[in-house]
Amino acid sequence: MTKLAVYAVSADNSRGRVMHEAPPTGRSDFQRDRDRIIHSSAFRRLEYKTQVFVNHVGDLFRTRLTHSLEVAQIGRSIARNLHLNEDLVETISLAHDLGHTPFGHAGQNALNHCMRDYGGFEHNLQSLRVVDVLEERYAAFNGLNLCYETREGILKHIAKKNVEKLGELGIRFVQNKSPSLEAQLANFSDEIAYNNHDVDDGLRSGLITLDQLQEVSIFSRHLLQVKRKYPAIAERRMVYETIRGMINTLVTDLIQQSIINVENAHVDSLVAVHESPPLIGFSEKIKKEQQQLKSFLYNNLYRHFRVVRMNNKASHIIERLFTAFSSEIRLLPTEYQKKFEHEGHQVIADYIAGMTDRYAIKEYQRLFTIAEN
């Protein structure tokens, strides 16, 4: 790791862990957090959870696992350039989707609807719940006992009604303070990763076309550069080169603009970062282009009838599972039944949110198909 900026998160200014532990040897506290995340079962399940495309429809599409790895890669490169804590950015990136339900946003919306009388369901909050409570691996504590700064980064947004449950971690939302630059960066790396890989997966699936993408300025100008330089290359390579160019432009712009923002805000410590408005960000031009790409993907990919059709099935599965478990608790695995006595419907949400796409489909068949057991 290169020398850290004075406003980066470091071992010296970290608020540490809830349960005190001796510092690790041979690795930093944030590397230890990363290692705990990689060894968690929630992390392994990301391999079988949908990003946009349902997990089993094609071997080349992103899953939540490969998405998280791309976020970590982009985050690390930018962090190094900005002299931020690379280990922390990597850790937050790998953990940021741990609380996602099966079937992507359709699953999350359906579960949130099912939980409307019991406090709702938010995937950011659930990611935190996974690392704070649900992982049962260590003798001395529940969860992974991660550093404050890792947990702060995982909790990107939260509904106001849930702020009070969170104690120290919720205060910044009440006081309107910014999270660390590392947390801000992980969030942008997420956006850079999904906008670009959704273009790639969208084209590969045939749900969007190169022709349609002409209207998206960041795509068309990079495509033009590739065509000029390599007029005869095959389409697949042309797409990859275009996406490579887009990622490079976004990463470079984010680095340059963030340096300017940090300089203008005169931040000289981590405390000053919390007091300042968010400082990691794109230039105005790139922000507009990113917005245009996002709306394009929303209108043409995320709302494509084949995606909507799958999402509809996904909501149906989640809702029926939830209804079955709530009306007959004994359908839940024994350990969840015991927890239900103390924690109520949150336990059903935990069980469903923890499922992979294929596990949810299998459970649906076990519950509703006569021949299944």
Whole-number minimum distance, CB 293 to Mg ion, in Å? 16
Locate tokens 């003798």: which residue? Answer: 139
Q: Which is nearer to Mg ion, 4 or 254 (CB)?
A: 254
Stretch that binds Mg ion, among 182-190, 226-234, 300-308, 311-319 (CB under 5 A): 182-190
Whole-number minimum distance, CB 68 to Mg ion, in Å? 7
Q: Which is nearer to Mg ion, 46 or 321 (CB)?
A: 46
**How many residues form the binding site for Mg ion (CB under 5 A)?**
2
The DSSP bridge partners found for residue 17 are 147
Q: Which is nearer to Mg ion, 190 or 350 (CB)?
A: 190
Scan residues 79-138 and list those touching Mg ion (CB under 5 A).
Answer: 97
Q: Which is nearer to Mg ion, 33 or 190 (CB)?
A: 190
On whether the CB atoms of residues 85 and 110 are closer than 8 A, the answer is: no
Whole-number minimum distance, CB 96 to Mg ion, in Å? 5
Whole-number minimum distance, CB 139 to Mg ion, in Å? 32
Locate tokens 């970290």: which residue? Answer: 14
Whole-number minimum distance, CB 97 to Mg ion, in Å? 5
> How far apart are the C-alpha atoms of 120 and 224, rounded to whole Å?
46
Give yes or no for residue 201 binding Mg ion (CB under 5 A).
no
Q: Give the contacts of 356 (CB within 8 A, at least 6 positions apart).
A: 45, 47, 48, 49, 55, 102
Q: Which is nearer to Mg ion, 55 or 276 (CB)?
A: 55
The DSSP bridge partners found for residue 147 are 17
73 closest CA partner among 248, 294, 237: 248
- List C-alpha distances in Å: 282 to 257, 287, 291, 293, 373: 6, 6, 11, 14, 53
Q: Which is nearer to Mg ion, 51 or 300 (CB)?
A: 51
On whether the CB atoms of residues 185 and 82 are closer than 8 A, the answer is: yes
Stretch that binds Mg ion, among 145-153, 158-166, 189-197, 303-311 (CB under 5 A): 189-197
Q: Which is nearer to Mg ion, 97 or 198 (CB)?
A: 97
Q: How many CB atoms lie within 10 A of CB 20?
A: 7
On whether the CB atoms of residues 218 and 253 are closer than 8 A, the answer is: no
Q: Which is nearer to Mg ion, 282 or 325 (CB)?
A: 282
Whole-number minimum distance, CB 75 to Mg ion, in Å? 11
Provide φ and ψ at 99, rounded to 5°.
Answer: -90, 5
Whole-number minimum distance, CB 61 to Mg ion, in Å? 15
314 SS3 class: helix
Residue nearest to Mg ion (CB): 190
| Two structure tokens written together for 140 | 């001395």
Whole-number minimum distance, CB 190 to Mg ion, in Å? 4
Whole-number minimum distance, CB 62 to Mg ion, in Å? 10
Site mask for Mg ion (CB under 5 A), range 36-55, x = bound = --------------------
Give yes or no for residue 198 binding Mg ion (CB under 5 A).
no
| Concatenated DSSP letters of 121-174 | --HHHHHHHIIIII----SS-SS---BHHHHHHH-----GGGGGGGGGGGHHHH
Q: Which is nearer to Mg ion, 190 or 198 (CB)?
A: 190
Whole-number minimum distance, CB 357 to Mg ion, in Å? 16
Provide φ and ψ at 250, rounded to 5°.
Answer: -65, -45
Give yes or no for residue 190 binding Mg ion (CB under 5 A).
yes
Q: Give the contacts of 71 (CB within 8 A, at least 6 positions apart).
A: 93, 94, 96, 186, 189, 190, 193
Q: Which is nearer to Mg ion, 86 or 97 (CB)?
A: 97
Which residue ranges make up the site for Mg ion (CB under 5 A)?
A: 97, 190
